[in-house]
Structure 1
């Protein structure tokens, strides 16, 4: 689909769902230990969706530069109840890039995104598909039902992140919303058209609009391996989201510029007042500072 194509006319009704089908995009990074078991659950899910909705499915595994046997295992997965695509990235580009690579390679109409660690329950997918086919929703996103099992600092950091990124935003990102979501054919087409180089998936999936509905769930415990999202990677992802999607950094810079210019103005007035009342000659250093602060403040505002 070309950039600028009108996607509002693409239907998402039950009558066309079977013809359009569903692509399941799963980024994987060093998930060799659990990939076979996950694929079996996806196969079972595809069988259920075909029986209930007549919905043909495919799964797109995006190997994000794994250093174990993930790619080899993915290439050998059975393609009986659903089509299997394997996309191999040349190195570890990160989850955001892997999600978008999967979206670009998805050949069906609707697109479902889920993690490859097994913590996103495939059994919940049937409910997400129901909201799309039966309810007519274009974006069905999931969110953690609670964070009671997380530390206080992590909960505080998550709350602070959403507060900052939604500061002044016209389209808010729902707090606790994750990447586990379903996009209807027209929502997926709209997301493909966005020209951003560095994409923040959660933000863009909310920004495109359309009818959206939230589904709360509890992530399943990881059964294989360990998470690759340490504090450093989560911090990097948060910074990338703030700088690529949010206007908060620009607003902060503008406020800092106003503050700096105001201080410079008051400092300048104090110099003028000192000269006026005492008649003393003011050295060049204070006036130089006033000039630099004023220029710096104006630049930040602009």
Structure 2
């Protein structure tokens, strides 16, 4: 690739030990929830760390894909319910207005609209908000022993951070109702074959390598075209068919694609029967 890849030049924002950030291969960031003793349950501090890192990631032209995973035996157990209970007692618990105004949703991911691809490497259990995060990822790799659930109804709360409409879109009303209204566990194979929010199921040791291989395949394509294609997917969730097409055609991401260097390189490489050498996309 013509872009110079130097991970040592990348300086992510400072963050707590509850989050690990690394750059395992060209153009790829790996972000790991690091509260294994607490099954990576989300806290305000971890949410703030994730927000800072993803905001920074989105601004780095040399980073094209992010892989998210969890340390230990869980991907993410959702919200820290003990802390939530204490906030409820103190009168500081989240109100419905707080949920509505949460720009990026649970863990600063579940409602985040970002044109760069997000790959979830689900290494174990995912509950509540953890599933809502997964539902907003583009590709989901799960271990054979992964377990998924939206058990909020069992705790008197709600999957309010984007999980309900996203699950309804991918699984359909009746299957979404099964997860949301019963709150029962779903296996990785069921999540793939019935509920349709998992792409690939592999043995546990292969979860991260498979996610990184998918990322490698993504970065072999034009980053401008990949990001513009994802923008189209996001717009299809928001608009009807023709409006989605028109909005994407006139967007800044599409303008960058049509006026950038990578479209020229891709067409030239095809004509010359060679592999293209992609450049970092211009900043929007």
TM-score class, shorter: under 0.3
Task: Tell me which structure has the larger Cα radius of gyration.
Answer: 1
TM score, norm. by length of structure 1: 0.24
